[in-house]
Amino acid sequence: MNSINKKNFIKDLSIQTGFSANLTKKIIEDLIAILIREIKTGNLNIKNIGSFKLIQKKERIGRNPKTKKTFLISARKSISFTASQKISKDLNKN
């Protein structure tokens, strides 16, 4: 599985755009803050990328598969992402 952390993402984007690392970091942090703020108000649709939806998960009982001990998983908010048709088509090209 490929993954990238925020530090490497900022470094790569900084090199690609020619902006300083500090400016790129500020842009990324501001973008994340805007996305979070918009998702909290409801659904967020970004054309040709996809849509984010805020989901309320209910409290439920979970189980540790190793010890079989049960515990309570608290209610929480989560985010669902659905990719746009354009992204889905691009991912499924050979």
What is the enclosing helix (H) or strand (E) of 81?
strand 76-83
pLDDT at 62: 95
- Phi, psi angles (nearest 5°) of residue 73: -95, 120
- The arrangement of secondary structure in 42-94, i.e. its CATH architecture, is Irregular (4.10)
Beta strands in 1-68 (DSSP E): 44-46, 50-57, 60-63
d(CA 51, CA 39): 10
pLDDT at 94: 66
pLDDT at 28: 93
pLDDT at 15: 94
Domain ranges of the chain: 1-41, 42-94
Residues, the chain = 94
- Kindly list the averaged pLDDT for each block of 10 residues, start to end, along the chain of length 94: 86 94 94 91 90 94 94 94 93 83
pLDDT at 42: 81
